[in-house]
């Protein structure tokens, strides 16, 4: 079938909220037809529209269309996924035990790294994810080899998903003396500068952050740092990162992954710092850890962009992880008791880069003519249902191409 | 299905792999199981030829686990299979109670149908025993109980059950004592209750009434206790005293028991000893965003701990899927049970304490003579099944496949 010019017919779109006595009790939807041209939505017509062209038609049979999802924090390069089961060991020296293991494990896994990354991408596609930000180890023992494998996997899925790779000095930018390796990684396909706990791992917050920022400026790259350091140690690190972001003019180009310290400090302090993050366009990526969750709704209210990601999917760090970011959104809703129609539906924005079919007031926001035809069709009546019920993903499209699932059977 | 047959090529866990004294994996072996009158009559090595001409069903080298127990659900509340609805915003639990009083008229699916949908989901998840609470209050009388019993009757050959007569609107607050007693006489084996302080407003009389009904009607007790910290602890202590006085040891459970998660570990250990002495089971739904009882600590002190899915798509919660293995995985994830042994032992919270290997790695299940209640999963060991929520291929109850499918041979 012609992929660059066709109609999606009988697409269900959300059109507004249903109100009873001033309270939102449900979501109104309608059936539409949409013309897709060159990967974008070129025309949106009502159900009664009379077709006058002979373009191919893909009948979506009333399935609900949502913007496709983004998994903004994952490690494609060290998963066991697709291979035999193995539980993580008991870490006797915290994060350093894991580094020790990686020196042996990653070279051993290298021959299957590309294949496993591919299987994991496939899993993410099935969940409705078409944009992936993956961290990729850059350390002296594995060098750039994991990066090469991950880039190959990304190339294998080129027409199916947008994949960006963070050069991640997992064993410490300074601690493992990986600065030149990082520089090389950034010249060879990695598009963001990563890092991990400037205090606990590198032992020198200032120098670690300064070096990270220099690498970013030199390569004209964005930044995404893993910061697990808790309490005021983490907060102090965030504050210095914010200062450096401002000095370098790197507003809108920095992400803090995990940012666990925000779960430890009083709400007022978190709120005050959120304002600073919002002002500098520093985003937060969270895997919504169940035991220690940062106040995501509060950050969102304060204007901070918060993205969700799956993080580890069965690897030597964690045996868990489903690779389903809609499940993550549902977990977020459940964790923060976002249970009414509006709150549930708006939760979708955390996995779509902020795009929701309706805004908080029930006005139609998406799709619009000109939007990329990266969409997921779900077996649900509205966004709220999809989030709460983790509804079945029927078909996933990336720039107009079917990348997972199948067209629904005729009614 | 035949009363006697061989379930062939079943993978069973046989011990831990260890390296330098540390558990690094799980060893398995393949066995044939002779099923007879609903029990596992014989377990033989898979390389032994079977020449007795009995029918054979091939488990396909899948791992067998003891089938699961769903210890806390509300079959009369779920709307599974009905139209989507979000949760209505309310200011307090009392707003929700008011909404629920007159909710039946607006249900999009009859109780017996959604209850059956839930049972189907439970079976598919690997559960063959469920404990359900059923609302008993003046506005609905015993109608919920009757509908749930109808649904359970349809599944009588597929799973076993326990029913708790649950005065959701407050045993005292809604004057439901007589109705609860009536429900117990009509087949509910447990007297339920909810927050004697916050809902009933009289801890002592509420608990006394529950215990009196249970003792007089030879029933057990399962109390919903959300009341936090000292208030919850006070309530649990009093219930434990009354349990011992009434001789109800081993028949009483406290569901949720959030307060046990609010106190320091040393105090929780004292409470655990008291609960163990009184034979009181603690049941948790593993809530997110709320401290819940320290499961491992309770277990180590001899307290029976069980897990349930609680609300699944009803007027209280839009979430949940009725998959009890998923809930065990959540428990492991929140509690940091992430190594091979800790993951595998987590299974015990959804099997009534039965695990294929014990803590030391000695094979503990199955034994010849055990009831043939098992689930075949696409996993290499219990730890993998819990962490990965592995696919359930088939659930067997008393030797009969009650969910999923296996290839019949011969």
Cite the beta strand spans of B20-122 per DSSP E.
22-36, 39-45, 56-58, 63-66, 68-73
* B387 to A25: CB separation less than 8 angstroms, yes or no: no
- Any idea how long chain A is? 411
- Least CA distance to B84: which residue of chain A? A385
Chain A residues touching chain B at CB-CB below 8 Å: 23-26, 84-90, 290-291, 293, 314, 318-320, 322, 330-331, 333-337, 339-341, 344, 380-382, 384-385, 388-390
Pick the residue of B84, B333, B337 with the most A CBs within 10 A to test the interface with A by mutation: B84
Res. A411: pLDDT tops 90: no
Substitution target from A19, A92, A319 for chain B, most B beta carbons within 10 A: A319
Q: Do residue A87 and residue B387 have CB atoms under 8 angstroms apart?
A: yes
- Beta carbons of A82 and A115 less than 8 angstroms apart: yes
Contact state of B88 with A390 under an 8 Å Cβ cutoff: no
Q: How many other C-beta atoms can be found within 10 angstroms of the C-beta atom of residue A340?
A: 18
Q: Do B88 and A25 touch (CB under 8 A)?
A: yes
CB contact under 8 A, A380 and B84: yes
DSSP B89: P
B252: left (phi over 0), alpha (psi -120 to 50) or beta: beta
Distance CA B307, CA B333 (A): 14
Q: Please give the residue of chain A at the shortest CA–CA distance from B321.
A: A389
Candidates B318, B325, B327, partner chain A, best to mutate (most A CBs within 10 A)? B318
Would you state the structure tokens that stand for residue B309, as one six-digit string? 């899915």
Q: How many CB pairs under 8 A join A and B?
A: 97
Cα–Cα distances (Å) from A389 to A196, A260, A362, in that order, read 35, 28, 21
Q: Which of B23, B80, B86, B342 to mutate to test the interface with A (most CBs of A within 10 A)?
A: B86
Question: Closest Cα of chain B to A353: distance in Å?
Answer: 23
CA nearest neighbour of A217 among A259, A181, A254: A254
Contact A320 B319 (CB under 8 A): no
Q: Which two tokens stand for residue B359?
A: 């803590």
B214-234 pLDDT tens trace? 999 999 999 999 999 999 999
Both tokens of B234, joined, read 């006070």
Burial annotation B332-359 (CB, 10 A radius, 16+ → b, else e): bbbbebbbbbbbbbbbbbbbeebbbbee
Enumerate residues 6+ apart whose C-beta is below 8 A from B137.
B101, B167, B168, B169, B174, B176, B179
What proportion of chain A, given as a percentage, has pLDDT over 90? 96
Q: Is the CB of B88 less than 8 angstroms away from the CB of A23? A: yes
Among B289, B335, B336, select the one facing A335 at the smallest CB separation. B289
Q: Is A87's CB within 8 Å of B380's CB? A: no
Q: Which residues of B touch A392 (CB under 8 A)?
A: none
The whole-angstrom separation of Cα B108 and Cα B78 is: 11
Under a CB-based contact definition with an 8 Å cutoff, are residues A392 and A379 in contact?
yes
Of A319, A336, A337, the CB nearest to B338: A319
What phi, psi does B74 have (nearest 5°)? Answer: -125, 90
Query: Which one of A291, A333, A339 has the shortest CB-CB distance to B334?
Result: A291
Per the CB < 8 Å rule, is B339 touching A87? yes
Nearest to residue A108, comparing CAs of A140, A133, A141?
Answer: A141
B388, B346 Cβ separation under 8 angstroms = no
Q: Torsion angle, CA of B154/B158/B160/B163, rounded to 10 degrees?
A: -30
Tokens of B378: 């696409």
- Give residue A9's pLDDT band: very low, low, confident or very high (50, 70, 90): very high
Q: Do A330 and B379 touch (CB under 8 A)?
A: no
What confidence score (pLDDT) does residue A409 get?
Answer: 83
B19: nearest CA partner in chain A: A89
pLDDT, position A270: 94
Read off the pLDDT of residues A271-290 as tens digits, 9 standing for 90 and up.
Answer: 999 999 999 999 999 999 98
Pairing state between β B190-194 and B220-225: parallel
Tell me if A219 sits within 8 A of A190, measured CB to CB. Answer: no
User: At B333, phi and psi to the nearest 5?
Assistant: -65, -45
Q: Closest Cα of chain A to B187: distance in Å?
A: 33
> Which helix H or strand E contains A70, and what residues bound it?
strand A69-74
Tell me whether residues B318 and A320 touch, CB distance under 8 A: no
Best CA proximity match to B372, nearest among B127, B39, B63: B39
Q: Which residues contact B371 (CB under 8 A, 6 or more apart)?
A: B38, B39, B40, B398
Which residues of chain B register pLDDT less than 50? 410
What pLDDT, on a 0 to 100 scale, did the predictor assign at position A262? 97
pLDDT for residue A325: 98
> Which of these, A225, A296, A293, A224, lies nearest to A264 by C-alpha position?
A293
Hey, are the CB atoms on B86 and A293 less than 8 Å from each other? Answer: no
Pairwise CB contact (< 8 Å): B321 & A390:
yes
Whether residue A320 and residue B336 make contact (CB cut-off 8 A), yes or no, is no
Pull the structure tokens for residue B404.
């999923």
Of A25, A322, A331, the CB nearest to B288: A331
What distance in Å separates the CA atoms of residue A208 and residue A201, rounded to the nearest whole number?
A: 10
- Annotate B61-83 with DSSP letters as a single string: TPEEEEPEEEEEE-TTT--TTS-
Chain B interface, best mutation among A79, A85, A287, A378, by max B CB count within 10 A? A85
| A83-106 average pLDDT score | 94
Q: Which residue of A has its CA nearest to B380?
A: A85
Q: Which residues contact A345 (CB under 8 A, 6 or more apart)?
A: A14, A27, A356, A357, A358, A382, A383, A384, A387
Q: Which two tokens stand for residue A122?
A: 């496939």
Helix and strand counts by DSSP (H, E) for chain A: 11, 16
Residue-level pLDDT at A2: 57
| Closest partner CB to A341 (pick from B86, B313, B336) | B86
Asked if A334's CB is within 8 angstroms of B387's CB, the reply is: no
- Both tokens of B82, joined, read 């009905």
Q: How far apart, in Å, are the Cα atoms of B75 and each of A287, B101, B149, B252, B264? A: 32, 16, 10, 21, 35
Check B84 against A385: CB less than 8 A apart.
Answer: yes
Instruction: Report chain B residues whose CB lies below 8 A from the CB of A314.
Output: 387-388
Q: Which residue has the tokens 């925000």?
A: A262
Q: In residues, how long is chain B?
A: 410
pLDDT at position B368 is: 97
User: Are residues A26 and B86, on separate chains, in Cβ contact within 8 Å?
Assistant: yes
User: Distance between CA A85 and CA A318 in Å, rounded?
Assistant: 12
User: How near does any CA of chain A get to the CA of B186, in Å?
Assistant: 35
| Alpha-helix runs per DSSP H in B155-202 | 177-185
- Decide if A388 and B340 are in contact by the 8 Å CB cutoff: no
Give the other-Cβ count within 10 Å of B88's Cβ: 17
- Residues in B whose CB is inside 8 Å of some CB of A read 22, 24-25, 83-89, 288-289, 313, 317-319, 321, 329-330, 332-336, 338-340, 343, 379-381, 383-384, 387-389
Q: How far is CA A167 from the centre of its chain?
A: 16
Supply the pLDDT for residue B2. Answer: 58
Give the long-range contacts of residues B95-99, CB within 8 A, separation 24 or more. Answer: B96/B315, B96/B316, B97/B168, B97/B169, B97/B170, B99/B315
Question: How many whole angstroms separate alpha carbon A321 and alpha carbon A318?
Answer: 8
Residues A370-406 have pLDDT tens digits of 999 999 999 999 999 999 999 999 999 999 999 999 9
Rounded to an integer, the average pLDDT of A186-204 is 97
- CB count, 10 Å around CB of A190? 26
State how far Cα B26 lies from the chain centre.
Answer: 26
Q: Tokens 């009873």 appear where?
A: A20
Structure tokens at A201: 């791992």
Question: Are A193 and A215 in contact, with CB atoms under 8 Å apart?
Answer: yes
For residue B288 the two structure tokens come to: 């997110």
Element (H, E) at B132: strand B127-135
Residue among A386, A397, A409 at smallest CA distance from A324: A386
Nearest residue in A to B311, CA atom: A334
Could you say which DSSP state residue A371 is in?
S
Looking at the DSSP assignment, which residues form a beta bridge with residue B66? Answer: B374
Please report, to the nearest 10 degrees, the dihedral formed by the alpha carbons of residues A364, A365, A369, A372 taken in order: -140
Among all residues of chain B, which has the CA nearest to that of A88? B339
Round the CA-based radius of gyration of chain B to a whole number and report it. 22
Q: Give CA B150 to chain center in angstroms.
A: 20
């Amino acid at each position: 079938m012609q992929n660059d010019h066709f109609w999606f017919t009988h697409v269900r779109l959300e059109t507004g909220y249903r109100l009873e006595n001033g309270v939102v009790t449900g979501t109104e939807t309608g059936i539409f037809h949409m013309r897709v041209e060159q990967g974008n939505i070129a025309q949106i017509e009502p159900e009664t529209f009379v077709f006058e062209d002979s373009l191919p038609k893909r009948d979506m049979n009333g399935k609900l269309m949502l913007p496709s999802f983004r998994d903004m924090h994952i490690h494609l390069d060290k998963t066991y996924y697709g291979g035999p089961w193995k539980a993580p060991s008991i870490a006797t020296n915290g994060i350093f035990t894991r580094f020790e293991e990686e020196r042996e494990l990653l070279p051993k896994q290298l021959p299957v790294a590309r294949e496993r990354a591919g299987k994991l991408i496939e899993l993410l596609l099935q969940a409705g994810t078409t944009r992936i930000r993956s961290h990729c180890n850059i350390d002296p023992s594995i060098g750039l080899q994991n990066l090469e494998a991950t880039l190959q996997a990304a190339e294998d899925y080129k027409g199916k998903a947008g994949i960006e790779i963070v050069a991640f000095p997992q064993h410490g930018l300074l601690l493992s003396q990986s600065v030149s390796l990082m520089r090389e990684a950034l010249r060879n396909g990695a598009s963001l500068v990563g890092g991990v706990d400037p205090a606990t791992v590198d032992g020198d917050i200032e120098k670690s952050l300064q070096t990270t920022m220099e690498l970013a400026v030199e390569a004209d790259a964005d930044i995404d740092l893993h910061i697990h350091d808790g309490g005021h140690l983490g907060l102090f690190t965030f504050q210095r990162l914010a200062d450096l972001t401002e000095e370098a003019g790197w507003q809108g180009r920095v992400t803090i992954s995990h940012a666990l310290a925000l779960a430890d400090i009083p709400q007022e302090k978190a709120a005050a710092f959120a304002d600073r993050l919002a002002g500098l366009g520093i985003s937060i990526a969270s895997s919504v850890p169940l035991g220690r969750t940062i106040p995501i709704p509060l950050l969102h209210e304060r204007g901070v962009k918060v993205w969700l990601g799956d993080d580890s999917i069965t690897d030597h760090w964690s045996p868990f992880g489903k690779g389903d970011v809609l499940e993550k959104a549902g977990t977020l809703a459940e964790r923060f008791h976002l249970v009414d129609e509006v709150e549930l539906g708006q939760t979708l924005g955390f996995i779509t880069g902020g795009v929701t079919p309706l805004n908080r007031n029930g006005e139609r926001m998406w799709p619009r003519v000109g939007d990329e035809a990266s969409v997921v069709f779900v077996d649900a009546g509205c966004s709220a249902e999809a989030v709460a019920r983790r509804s079945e993903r029927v078909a996933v499209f990336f720039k107009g191409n079917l990348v997972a699932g199948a067209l629904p059977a005729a009614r | 299905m035949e009363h006697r047959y061989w379930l062939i090529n079943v993978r069973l866990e046989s011990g831990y792999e260890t390296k330098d004294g540390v558990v690094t994996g799980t060893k398995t072996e393949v066995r044939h199981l002779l099923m007879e009158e609903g029990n596992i009559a014989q377990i033989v090595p898979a390389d032994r030829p079977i020449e007795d001409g009995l029918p054979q069903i091939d488990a396909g080298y899948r791992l067998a686990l003891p089938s699961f127990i769903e210890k806390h659900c509300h079959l009369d509340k779920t709307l599974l299979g009905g139209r989507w609805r979000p949760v209505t915003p309310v200011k307090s639990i009392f707003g929700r109670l008011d909404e629920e009083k007159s909710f039946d008229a607006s249900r999009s699916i009859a109780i017996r149908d959604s209850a059956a949908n839930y049972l189907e989901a439970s079976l598919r998840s690997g559960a063959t025993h469920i404990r359900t609470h059923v609302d008993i209050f003046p506005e609905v009388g015993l109608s919920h109980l009757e509908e749930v019993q109808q649904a359970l009757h349809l599944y009588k050959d597929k799973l076993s059950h326990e029913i708790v007569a649950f005065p959701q609107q407050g045993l005292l607050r809604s004057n439901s004592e007589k109705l609860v007693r009536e429900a117990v006489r009509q087949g509910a084996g447990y007297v339920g209750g909810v927050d004697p302080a916050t809902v009933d407003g009289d801890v002592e009389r509420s608990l006394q009434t529950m215990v009196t009904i249970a003792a007089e009607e030879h029933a057990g007790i399962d109390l919903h206790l959300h009341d936090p910290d000292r208030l919850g602890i006070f309530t649990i202590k009093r219930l434990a005293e009354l349990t011992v006085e009434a001789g109800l040891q081993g028949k009483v459970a406290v569901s949720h028991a959030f307060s046990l998660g609010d106190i320091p570990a040393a105090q929780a250990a004292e409470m655990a000893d008291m609960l163990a002495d009184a034979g009181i089971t603690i049941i948790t739904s593993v809530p997110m965003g709320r401290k819940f009882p320290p499961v491992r600590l309770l277990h180590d002190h001899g307290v029976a701990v069980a897990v349930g899915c609680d609300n699944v798509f009803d007027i209280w919660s839009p979430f949940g899927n009725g998959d009890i293995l998923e809930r065990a995985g959540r428990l492991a994830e929140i509690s940091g049970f992430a190594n091979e042994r800790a993951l595998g032992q987590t299974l015990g919270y959804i099997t009534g304490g039965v695990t294929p290997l014990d803590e030391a790695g000695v094979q503990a299940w199955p034994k010849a003579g055990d009831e043939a209640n098992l689930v075949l999963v696409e996993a290499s060991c219990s730890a993998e099944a819990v962490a990965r929520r592995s696919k359930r291929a088939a659930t067997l109850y008393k030797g009969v496949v009650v969910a999923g499918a296996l290839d019949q041979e011969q």
